[in-house]
Amino acid sequence: MNGKIPGSSRIGILTSGGDAPGMNAAVRAVYRAAHELGIEVIGIRRGFTGLIEGDFFLMDRSHVANIIHLGGTVLGTSRSEDFKTFEGRKKSAENLQNAEIDALLVIGGEGSFRGADLFNDETGIPTIGIPGSIDNDIPGTDFSIGFDTAINTALEAIDKIRDTAISHGRLFFVEVMGRSSDLIAIESGIAGGAEYLVLPGDQNAITELCTRLTDAFHAGKRYAIVVVAEGERPGCSFQISQQVSEQIAIESRVVVLGHIQRGGSPTARDRVLAAKLGVSAVNAYTKGHAGVMVGELRRSVVLTPFDKVITGRQKPEPNIIRLAQILTK
């Protein structure tokens, strides 16, 4: 890779952690915004792993052509244990300095921002985050890139599962992703007309579910869709299905959507959000900001310090939970 043009600025960009639809749209927005300002953009492959190994390349327009509609990330991603060490972060800083890179943009989730926060503080290299996660559990933004696509993917699956549930008169448990956030389950459950939601931490969920299902089937209902949030236990729907089967006599099936929710072409909403946050991240760098994440709250772009992002947790608002309680009955 050639040295940078004298007097110019150069930023690096990487995607880290779990991939999310819309990450490519964000990479494209960063490149285009930087190019307009005369800033060179260095792509970093495979997230923090590539940062440690110096896997860099100078981006040009061809690298962001025809990627806005693609799922995944053209830069590649990883979860790096080495970056959690001081030695790994020190090696990363040396690589950036050797490549004459002035700042680092990180697209990822809460775990990625923990590393970015340490890196920014330890090295003094300006680091800015862009929220990309299907879980939508990142404080400082109403929505993270990828969430809208994920709930639409889950909704499409629920609609198709309902067809066979009606045909066979069955109970289906549909497990969706989201880790500690319940938002994919809540919003896809509402939109998909689920008969019940099972969320982590609800101690009375099985008893209440069995009561509701018994009443519904006695009243003549022939099928039901139950949306389950995976929480910290992916695959928990199988245990829930078994517990329900032990209490009521009804044929059931379990569908774990899993990683299908991470893939696919991003929705219009995710593409627009990615574009807005990508451009805003470049603008934040040019204005001297560092150690912050760009986000959107109430349709306005805001900057939130990493330390507030990584110590908080985006939780469902009470009104959306109440809405789910009313509609999933």
Active site residues: 135
Residue in 37, 101, 59, 64 with CA at minimum distance from that of residue 274: 64
Rg (CA), the chain: 22
Judged by DSSP in three states, 254 sits in: strand
Q: What is the enclosing helix (H) or strand (E) of 300?
A: strand 300-305
Query: Residue 255: which of 175, 195, 170 has the closest Cα?
Result: 175
Q: How far is CA 210 from CA 174, 182, 196, 323, 325, in A?
A: 16, 21, 10, 21, 16
Helix (H, G, I), strand (E, B) or coil at 43: strand
Q: Is 119:104 a contact under the CB 8 Å cutoff?
A: yes
For the chain, the straight-line distance linking the first and the last C-alpha, in angstroms and rounded, comes to 60
